[in-house]
Homo-oligomer: A and B are copies of this chain.
Amino acid sequence: MSELAGNVLVGQSGGPTSVINSSVAGIIAEALNHACIEEIYGALNGVLGILQEDLIDLAAESQQQIRALRHTPGAALGTCRYKLKKTQDFERVLEVFKAHNIRYFFYIGGNDSQDTADKISKLAQQQGYELRVIGVPKTIDNDLAVTDHCPGYGSAIKYLATAVREAACDNEAMGQGDLVQIVESMGRSAGWIAAGASLAKRRDHPHDPPHLILLPEIPFNQDKVIEDVRRVLKRERFCLIVVAEGLVDADGNYMAADAATDAFGHARLGGAGDALGEIIEANIPGVKVRVARPGLLQRAGAHSASKTDVDEAFLAGQAAVRAAIGGETDKMVTLLRGDGDHYTCETGLAPLSEIANGVKKLPRDWINEDNVSMNFQFLRYAQPLVQGEITLPYDSGVPVFARLDKVRIDKTLPPYET
């Protein structure tokens, strides 16, 4: 394996998670082990920062701040939902890479981001510019192909399951046969997150909240849901429903009233909970509906992150560097679950193109026949991902997070219009 000397560039893309910065910390920590890596740069706001040559010197950050990245939510380098489209954009990226002798590019993101990384990698190959591109998985949506699960997912569902168990204590105290609590979860096209709320149930207590989980995989059936709610209200005196923001009706239309779209053409959602609440109030006389929509607090809730998730995100960052140093390129780090009864997790590699073009669906046979709860296969899958708590530093009663100095690298190219 030829040793490739040069600089590292790290970028973050798409929606942040509680642990995406832990992957940055893993990359930096591992990069320090390798003498062939000269400088460690960060791209501000993902590919946007590359196009605009907005690079920062990550080696200039204090070690305390890098350590603090392990528990800091958001995306410390900034992120974007900008999609490279024009050939010109990709050429500009390579121009910037060449100008700063970037030989290692680590891109932390979901499938749109891995697609971008793939294209950058291929263009570099075409141009004969030696570049090693390794993607690091990230998404609370847990929908990346090949990898067993995605960093960010475990913390998101730990947040949700905790919220549901706490809300249930409140609801149980208030419920007099007429209380319907709706918790709207994130999850645009798949029910991975909403399904995770089932971890709030105690083992062997199938009647524990959440009583109903409404997944995007199961088109909304009003009559059945109303019947389910009535039955649960009678049995439990309150009914706690987790509804994914991406719930669709029988025609495949989003239940949420307002469905604008983002730069990738994805519907921007929020409101499935309210829409559901109105339907229930209109159909069950006297019922009181309460809707909690924690929104992005689900993906930013670092104070209740899963230690397993934080550690795996860090591990994925380290593995990306090791793979690149070992000569790999055009791959994404994957998480591989061991076969044994006791949960273990190692990293692997998969071609970026496979990630870019695949989507991992919530297996239909992990959903119970009642369509509103998850079976043991899902629980066996999800339970290990939420294990362990982290200890955050607090100052004056509020968690303290990393704040990078973001020392800018001098620009050497003319400006670029995005």
| Partner-B contacts on A (CB < 8 A) | 12, 15-16, 45, 72-81, 158, 161-163, 165-174, 176, 181, 199-200, 203, 268, 270, 274, 288, 290-297, 299-304, 306, 383, 386-389, 394, 396-399, 401
Known: A292-B297, A399-B166. Is A74-B172 also a contact (CB below 8 A)? yes
Q: Tell me whether A72 and B169 are in contact (CB under 8 A).
A: yes
- Which B residue sits closest to A48, measured CB to CB? B176
In addition to A166-B301, A199-B398, A290-B295, 15 A-B residue pairs with Cβ atoms within 8 Å of each other are A12-B173, A15-B170, A73-B170, A75-B174, A76-B169, A79-B173, A80-B174, A158-B397, A166-B300, A166-B401, A270-B291, A293-B295, A386-B397, A386-B398, A388-B397
Q: Tell me whether A200 and B169 are in contact (CB under 8 A).
A: no
Known: A199-B397, A303-B162, A401-B165. Is A16-B170 also a contact (CB below 8 A)? yes
- Which B residue sits closest to A395, measured CB to CB? B202
**Which of B15, B162, B173, B295 has a CB less than 8 Å from the CB of A74?**
B173
Give Cα A181–Cα B394 distance, bound, in whole angstroms. 24
Main secondary structure of the interface of A (DSSP, over half): mixed
Which residues of B sit under 8 angstroms from A45, Cβ to Cβ? 173, 176
Q: Tell me whether B163 and A297 are in contact (CB under 8 A).
A: yes
Q: How far is the CB of A5 from chain B (nearest CB, A)?
A: 31
Q: Tell me whether A296 and B304 are in contact (CB under 8 A).
A: no
Known: A12-B173, A199-B396, A199-B398. Is A297-B166 also a contact (CB below 8 A)? yes
Q: How far is the CB of A220 from chain B (nearest CB, A)?
A: 21
Q: How far is the CB of A29 from chain B (nearest CB, A)?
A: 20
Give Cα A144–Cα B12 distance, bound, in whole angstroms. 47
Q: Tell me whether A295 and B291 are in contact (CB under 8 A).
A: yes
Q: Tell me whether B294 and A294 are in contact (CB under 8 A).
A: yes
Known: A161-B398, A389-B394. Is A169-B16 also a contact (CB below 8 A)? yes
Which residues of B sit under 8 angstroms from A169, Cβ to Cβ? 16, 72-74, 76, 300, 302, 401
Which residues of B sit under 8 angstroms from A163, Cβ to Cβ? 297, 300-301
Q: Tell me whether B293 and A73 are in contact (CB under 8 A).
A: no
Q: Tell me whether A306 and B397 are in contact (CB under 8 A).
A: yes
Known: A292-B295, A397-B158. Is A74-B170 also a contact (CB below 8 A)? yes
Known: A169-B72, A169-B74. Is A162-B398 also a contact (CB below 8 A)? yes
Q: Tell me whether A387 and B396 are in contact (CB under 8 A).
A: yes
For this complex, 24 residue pairs linking A to B, each with C-beta atoms less than 8 Å apart, are: A15-B170, A16-B173, A16-B174, A74-B170, A74-B171, A75-B174, A78-B172, A79-B174, A158-B398, A165-B401, A166-B297, A166-B303, A169-B401, A170-B296, A170-B299, A199-B396, A274-B274, A290-B295, A290-B296, A293-B294, A293-B295, A294-B297, A303-B304, A386-B398
Which of A79, A174, A199 has the most CB atoms of chain B within a 10 A radius of its CB? Answer: A174
Which residues of B sit under 8 angstroms from A288, Cβ to Cβ? 268
Give Cα A396–Cα B208 distance, bound, in whole angstroms. 15
Give Cα A283–Cα B156 distance, bound, in whole angstroms. 33
Give Cα A39–Cα B78 distance, bound, in whole angstroms. 60
Q: Tell me whether B296 and A293 are in contact (CB under 8 A).
A: no
Which of A79, A199, A397 has the most CB atoms of chain B within a 10 A radius of its CB? Answer: A397
Q: How far is the CB of A66 from chain B (nearest CB, A)?
A: 16
Give Cα A288–Cα B383 distance, bound, in whole angstroms. 35
